[in-house]
């Protein structure tokens, strides 16, 4: 066993696949994607399958997550080809999620996903309000999202989640409450609720800079966040991470792997991996990616080893995003470091100010710290 306690490949490894196609780019989105109409998907899917083949040595993946982009915008035969390949790599993952665009979901597609072993679907609903969806530049309607969720249940998915965005320009607390009411009235198990982020380089951010878009004020943003936590709890959705809520037993296993800081392999253009002590990012360009795979090159364009200190810090930051916080024993096992010893100073300081609380086995952010978590987590970002 090496002293740095890097995770062994036996550990639960996640598999993420990034389908970089969308019908068209949403103005707030900063993930890598391209309009499908401009590309031939088959060579990319072949390249992704080839990249996956490079990880034959990984005996099995604990979880699979197919995201994007919009995987559901792929032609059915290409999607099926990809799903077949995934299945041959990992026949029975504990969780197999596919992100679905509510506007692109029909019974056939859902049935096909089921057939290929997908056991969880996550709908990018974003909002259940027509005006808000329009503000976000989304093409689907609230009705479509609701119908898609019902259809998924009907097709036999018993683990369905939706994404919601709050603090959309022009929205208010009452509107957000209506979103939450409607969402929790659906037969779903998981809700991700994100405050709208103005990511640099996005069309939305440009609009904000140009003054064409007025962000929701900070107090309202905060109130919306607090409302989400309270309202969702009252509706049976427990918060288990900064932005994630689930009914008991339905927390997303794959994403929990990230916050636990377990290894994962990312397949496809722009996908990130954390494997064998390195973080790497695949070429975020379809053409370059395909070429790299074709010529037998590594798929990544950036890669850096994660040293012991970085691992300690990343693990701390990621763990603290979880509602359960840092499990001291698990932290020691994963990093070889004593959390309370390494972070004695910030833990004490923030504990004094009521941002951090401790139990005998864990350290976590207090409820009031969640909304300002970065200002606390930054003190754990370096030693």
Partner 1 sequence: MDTKYIRNFSIVAHIDHGKSTLADRMLELTGTITQRQAQEQLLDNMDIERERGITIKASAVTMEYEYEGNTYMLNLIDTPGHVDFHYEVSRALAACEGALLVVDASQGVEAQTVANAYLAVETGVEIMGIINKVDLPAAQPEVAAEEMEHVLGIRRNECFKISAKTGEGVQDLLNAICELLPGPEDRGDEETKALVFDSHCDPYRGVICYVRVFSGSLKVRQKIRLMHKGRSYLVTELGKFYPEMTPVEEIGVGEVGYIVANIRNLADVSVGETITDDAAPADEPLASYQAPMQMVFSDFYPGDNTEYARLRAAFEKLALNDASFSFSPQNSPALGFGFRCGFLGLLHMEIIQERLERENDVDIVQTAPTVSYEVVTRDGDVRRIESPSELPDRTHIEELREPFVRLEIITSSESIGGIMKLAEGRRCKLIKTDYLNPTRVLMEYKAPLAEIVYDFYDLIKGISRGYATMDYEFTGFEATNLVKIDILVNGQPVDALSLIVHRDHAEQRGRKLIIKLRRAIPRHQFEIPLQVAIGGKIIARETIKAYRKDVTAKLYGGDVTRKMKVLKRQKEGKRRMKSVGSVQIPQKAFMSILDTGE
Of 22-51, binders to partner 1 (CB under 8 A) are: 31
Residue 205's CB is within 10 A of a number of other CB atoms, namely: 17
Backbone dihedral angles phi then psi of residue 158, each to the nearest 5 degrees: -105, 10
Q: Return the range that interacts with partner 1 (CB under 8 A); candidates 41-49, 154-162, 172-180, 317-325.
A: 317-325
Q: Does 129 contact partner 1 by CB under 8 A?
A: no
The two three-digit tokens of residue 220, written as one number: 């309202």
CB of 304 to partner 1, least distance (A): 7
376 binds partner 1 (CB under 8 A): yes
113-121, 134-142, 202-210, 364-372 -> range binding partner 1 (CB under 8 A) = 364-372
The DSSP 8-state label assigned to residue 74 in this structure reads S
**DSSP codes, 17-71:** EEE-EESS--TT--S--EEGGGS-HHHHHHHHHHHHHTTTTS---SEEEEEES-G
- Beta pairing class for 95-100 and 120-126: parallel
CB of 377 to partner 1, least distance (A): 6
Residue from the set 21, 225, 331, 339 that interacts with partner 1 by CB under 8 A: 225
The answer to whether residue 356 forms part of the interface with partner 1 (CB under 8 A) is no
Candidates 191, 242, 347, 363; binder of partner 1 (CB under 8 A) is: 242
Q: Which of residues 240 and 274 has its CB atom nearest to partner 1 in the complex? A: 274
Applying CB under 8 A, which of residues 106, 197, 234, 333 lies at the interface with partner 1? 197
Q: Contact letters (x/-) for partner 1, 271-310, by CB under 8 A?
A: xxxx----x-x--------------------x-x-----x
339 near partner 1, judged by CB under 8 A: no
Among 68, 266, 269, 325, binds partner 1 (CB under 8 A): 266
Query: Quick one: 204 or 317, whose CB is closer to partner 1?
Result: 317
Query: Is position 338 an interface residue for partner 1 (rule: CB under 8 A)?
Result: no
Choice from 99, 221, 300, 342 touching partner 1 (CB under 8 A)? 221
Q: CB-based burial of residue 268 (10 Å sphere; 0-12 exposed, 13-18 middle, 19+ buried)?
A: buried
Please provide the size of the chain in residues: 383
Using the rule CB under 8 A, is 208 a contact of partner 1? Answer: no
Shortest distance, position 273 Cβ to partner 1, whole Å: 8
Extract the tokens encoding 68.
């994007």
151 vs 306, beta carbon nearer partner 1 = 306
Q: Is 116 helix (H, G, I), strand (E, B) or coil?
A: coil
- Give the count of beta carbons closer than 10 Å to the beta carbon of residue 28: 22
Q: Is the peptide bond before 84 cis (omega within 30 degrees of 0)?
A: no
375 interacts with partner 1 by CB under 8 A: yes
C-alpha–C-alpha distance, residues 311 and 70, integer Å: 32
Contact characters 55-84, partner 1, x per CB under 8 A? ------------------------------
Task: Please give the angle made by the CA atoms of 113, 255 and 227, to the nearest 5 degrees.
Answer: 105
Over the window 246 to 265, marking each residue x when it contacts partner 1 by CB under 8 A and - when it does not, the resulting string is ---------x--xx----x-
Buried b (16+ CB within 10 A) or exposed e, 309-329: ebbbbbbbbbbbbbbbbbbbe
> Which of the stretches 13-21, 49-57, 93-101, 117-125 binds partner 1 when contact is defined by CB under 8 A?
13-21
Q: Residue 78 and residue 190: Cα distance in Å, rounded? A: 28
CB-CB neighbours of 367 under 10 Å: 14
Shortest gap between Cβ of 181 and partner 1 (angstroms)?
Answer: 21
Which residue in 240, 361, 259 sits closest to 319, CA to CA?
A: 259
Q: Tell me how far apart the alpha carbons of residues 135 and 151 are, in angstroms, rounded to a whole number.
A: 26
Is 6 an interacting residue with respect to partner 1 (CB under 8 A)?
no
Count interface residues toward partner 1 (CB under 8 A): 52
List contacts with partner 1 (CB under 8 A): 14, 16, 18, 31, 194-197, 218-219, 221-222, 225, 242-243, 255, 258-259, 264, 266, 270-274, 279, 281, 302, 304, 310, 313-314, 317-318, 321, 349, 353, 355, 369-382
């Amino acid at each position: 066993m090496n002293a740095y306690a890097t995770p062994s490949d036996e550990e639960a490894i996640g598999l993420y696949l990034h389908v970089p196609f969308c019908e068209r780019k949403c103005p707030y989105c900063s993930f890598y994607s391209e309009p499908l109409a401009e590309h031939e998907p088959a060579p990319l899917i072949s390249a992704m399958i080839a990249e996956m083949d490079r990880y034959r040595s990984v005996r099995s993946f604990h979880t699979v997550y197919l995201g994007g982009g919009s995987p559901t915008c792929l032609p059915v035969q290409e999607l099926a080809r990809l799903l077949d390949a995934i299945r041959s790599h990992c026949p029975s993952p504990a969780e197999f999620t596919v992100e679905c665009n509510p506007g692109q979901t029909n019974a056939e597609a859902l049935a096909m996903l089921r057939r290929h072993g997908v056991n969880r679907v996550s709908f990018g609903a974003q909002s259940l309000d027509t005006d808000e969806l329009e503000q976000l530049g989304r093409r689907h309607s609230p009705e479509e999202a609701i119908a898609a969720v019902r259809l998924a249940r009907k097709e036999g998915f018993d683990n369905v989640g939706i994404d919601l965005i709050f603090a959309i320009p022009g929205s208010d607390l009452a509107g957000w409450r209506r979103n939450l009411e409607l969402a929790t009235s659906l037969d779903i198990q998981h809700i991700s609720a994100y405050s709208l982020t103005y990511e640099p380089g996005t069309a939305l951010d440009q609009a904000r800079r140009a003054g064409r878009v007025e962000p929701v004020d900070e107090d309202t943003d905060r109130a919306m966040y607090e409302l989400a936590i309270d309202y969702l709890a009252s509706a049976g959705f427990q918060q288990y991470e900064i932005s994630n809520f689930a009914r008991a037993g339905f927390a997303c296993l794959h994403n929990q792997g990230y916050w636990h800081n377990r290894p994962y392999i990312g397949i496809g253009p722009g996908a990130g991996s954390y494997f064998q002590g390195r973080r790497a990012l695949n070429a975020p360009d379809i053409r370059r990616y395909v070429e790299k795979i074709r010529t037998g090159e590594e798929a990544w364009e950036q890669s850096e080893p994660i040293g012991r200190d970085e691992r300690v810090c990343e693990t701390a930051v990621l763990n603290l995003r979880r509602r359960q916080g840092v499990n001291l024993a698990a932290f020691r096992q994963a990093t070889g470091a004593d959390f309370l010893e390494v972070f004695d100073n910030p833990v004490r300081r923030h504990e004094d100010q009521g941002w951090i609380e401790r139990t005998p086995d864990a350290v976590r952010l207090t409820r009031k710290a969640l909304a300002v978590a970065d200002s606390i987590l930054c003190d754990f970002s370096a030693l």
